[in-house]
A and B are shown apart, each in its own frame.
Chain A
């Protein structure tokens, strides 16, 4: 057919623009994103809050005293009923900057710790997501593109990691690393460092992303346009960079919020089991653990961080749903499993 056809419909925008446009019309996803951004901002302001409230969230302050309506009150109260064994931290005062959510069993301001802990939770979840994505993409690209022996070795390693139950692998890594830290040659990581939970969480989820990436790369490797590029003698690194990576980038981006949510849950669980963030540092998981002993007397200590986790993870998941619908309307990408 030689003659010019009828006009092309006016919707031939690029795929990214189309996706952004779709996302911009998804009110639920935008609200979810806004909620998560608000949580992040609040946690970033943790030092400001601590300074304003005049509390030290990482030091035991059993003898602190606070003033409510001109009345002075110790942070650790002697129980007035029962056997009066030990002290009970003060409950929520619901006064911002003044032990809003009460104190924990060290007399520390729970609200300030909640914000600091959230900061750690978000940093760990985000960095671990980056770690997982980078290494999974690398593995997936190498295995899928070069095939042969490289694929066989990498795939077998991924098989083993995949079959290894996530929590057991995390526990195995943690018990060794958290107690002694890691030192490989010049790299030394302290046992209390945030890098350890990041590394652990980042490693355990690599196969969940590397496997689908490998599959996609293999399909692309055998597609006509890549075959043509190879036939024309384009070097491998150029094909990987110019032809393959852009085509798997939607998959990778769709994984980001989902993995963030999954990592937040994993981090909190590991910290709850005392093999994640180490004291005196806090994360939402460690605060819930602190609150376990106070559950029936001062439930706010355990409840508040849990609510924060639910809000953050839920908003990430909702946003992730919207992002997937926008980027991948036919939903070819299956969710990585916990």
Chain B
């Protein structure tokens, strides 16, 4: 088991190095334009360009450039934005993390609860109308662009029905700090949580239903029936329990991806200043240092999350844990 974990960690480091090289190549190796001009942003003066060239070592060999870049982002953390002159990028990125975590954790709680309910119900009533309705609803959830759903939510709760009893409690868009204003934090996030979770509720509900239905075909379910257990117990303790292994793996991957930037669309629509919104704003002003930093930090987080998932998988599945 220790060997498996160490091997997994080695693979993780390899992938991290691979991603950092890939990002470096995309940003500085794409043929066509002077990378200094990319860093400096639109309409940079010749002095700024020169400063960028020296600071990033663009007159030096490629590998030196790569190492300089990595040092600026991960070791010294003194990468500065040239669009917003002198703005330290790394602390700015770290500041946005609590917002993204608030959004994603809340949505994750919602989607775990509801997808479990939907998946188990659909599997319990498989091939009846309950199953069909739930699965179609899930498919619709998967088919909606999340940013568009967010806009529809805004239209309903902020404008068209805001003055009715139903949505008068919805505060204006924006983020309230959890420590300063817990109630405001909660209220502003409710609609974003629902919006973000709908896709995953649909997806996980469907995945879980398929996994449970597949598990119900297994021989050990027949054994459980022969033991005289109730259908509910067979469904929850045997079929669901064995299906959860895949469910947890999937959850880890998606949670990691969301914290690492996939929540960006939701953050943009609801004006939540998270990692994704920061990336989006940088995208609008072509502020490359910011984008590079968020991309690298976020993808490292995702890779780390994937590794954690694999370790959890080892703990969850006795076949892997203790061979």
Q: Do chains A and B touch in the complex (CB under 8 A)?
A: yes
The reply to whether A296 and B159 form a contact with Cβ atoms under 8 Å apart is: yes
Q: A269-B145, A274-B283, A317-B139 are in contact. Are A177 and B257 (CB under 8 A)?
A: no
Residue in contact with B279 in the complex, picked from A171, A305, A318, CB distance below 8 Å: A171
Is B298 interfacial (CB 8 A cutoff)? yes
Is A51 interfacial (CB 8 A cutoff)? no
A residues near B11, Cβ cutoff 8 Å? 159
- For B18, the closest partner residue in chain A by CB is A160
The reply to whether A163 and B159 form a contact with Cβ atoms under 8 Å apart is: no
The reply to whether A273 and B152 form a contact with Cβ atoms under 8 Å apart is: no
Q: Which of B24-32, B77-85, B181-189, B226-234 sits within the interface? A: B24-32
The reply to whether B139 and A168 form a contact with Cβ atoms under 8 Å apart is: no
Residue in contact with A163 in the complex, picked from B26, B140, B306, CB distance below 8 Å: B306
> What CA separation (Å) do A172 and B286 show in the bound complex?
11
The reply to whether B262 and A167 form a contact with Cβ atoms under 8 Å apart is: yes
Which residues of B, 96-132, contact A by the 8 Å Cβ criterion?
A: none
A residues near B147, Cβ cutoff 8 Å? 269, 272, 288
> What CA separation (Å) do A168 and B23 show in the bound complex?
10
> What CA separation (Å) do A138 and B154 show in the bound complex?
45
Is A275 interfacial (CB 8 A cutoff)? yes
The reply to whether A156 and B18 form a contact with Cβ atoms under 8 Å apart is: yes
A residues near B36, Cβ cutoff 8 Å? none
> What CA separation (Å) do A292 and B38 show in the bound complex?
29
Is B288 interfacial (CB 8 A cutoff)? yes
The reply to whether B33 and A337 form a contact with Cβ atoms under 8 Å apart is: no
The reply to whether A164 and B19 form a contact with Cβ atoms under 8 Å apart is: yes
- For A315, the closest partner residue in chain B by CB is B143
- For B156, the closest partner residue in chain A by CB is A299
When each residue 295-306 of chain A gets 1 if its CB lies under 8 Å from chain B and 0 otherwise, what string results? 110010011011
B residues near A160, Cβ cutoff 8 Å? 15, 18-19, 22
What's the minimum C-beta distance from B11 to chain A, rounded to whole angstroms? 7
Is A165 interfacial (CB 8 A cutoff)? yes
> What CA separation (Å) do A168 and B258 show in the bound complex?
11
Residue in contact with B303 in the complex, picked from A157, A163, A310, A313, CB distance below 8 Å: A163
- Decide if the interface of chain B is mainly helix, strand, loop or mixed: helix
What's the minimum C-beta distance from B152 to chain A, rounded to whole angstroms? 7
For chain A, the bracket of interface size reads 35 or more
Residues of B within 8 A of A (CB-CB), count: 57
Is A41 interfacial (CB 8 A cutoff)? no
The reply to whether B32 and A295 form a contact with Cβ atoms under 8 Å apart is: no
Is A173 interfacial (CB 8 A cutoff)? yes
Is A183 interfacial (CB 8 A cutoff)? yes
When each residue 165-183 of chain A gets 1 if its CB lies under 8 Å from chain B and 0 otherwise, what string results? 1111001110111011111
What's the minimum C-beta distance from A274 to chain B, rounded to whole angstroms? 7
Is A261 interfacial (CB 8 A cutoff)? yes
The reply to whether A165 and B299 form a contact with Cβ atoms under 8 Å apart is: yes
B residues near A292, Cβ cutoff 8 Å? 151
> What CA separation (Å) do A182 and B294 show in the bound complex?
24
Is B165 interfacial (CB 8 A cutoff)? no
Residue in contact with A269 in the complex, picked from B22, B30, B257, B265, CB distance below 8 Å: B265
- For B260, the closest partner residue in chain A by CB is A165
The reply to whether A159 and B15 form a contact with Cβ atoms under 8 Å apart is: yes
The reply to whether A306 and B143 form a contact with Cβ atoms under 8 Å apart is: no
Q: A168-B299, A317-B142 are in contact. List 9 more A-B contacts (CB 8 A).
A: A163-B19, A167-B261, A168-B295, A173-B26, A175-B286, A268-B145, A269-B265, A274-B284, A288-B148
Nearest first, the 7 closest Cβ-Cβ pairs linking A and B are A160-B18, A306-B148, A313-B143, A314-B143, A296-B159, A163-B15, A168-B295
Interface pairs (11), CB distance under 8 Å: A168-B279, A168-B299, A171-B283, A176-B27, A182-B30, A265-B145, A296-B158, A302-B151, A314-B139, A317-B142, A321-B139
> A-contacting residues of B (Cβ < 8 Å)?
11, 14-15, 18-19, 22-23, 26-27, 30-33, 38, 139-140, 142-149, 151-152, 154-155, 158-159, 210, 214, 250, 253-254, 257, 260-262, 264-265, 268, 279-280, 283-284, 286, 288, 291-292, 294-295, 298-299, 302-303, 306
> B-contacting residues of A (Cβ < 8 Å)?
156-157, 159-161, 163-168, 171-173, 175-177, 179-184, 261, 265, 268-269, 272-275, 285, 288, 291-292, 295-296, 299, 302-303, 305-306, 309-310, 313-314, 317-318, 321, 331, 337
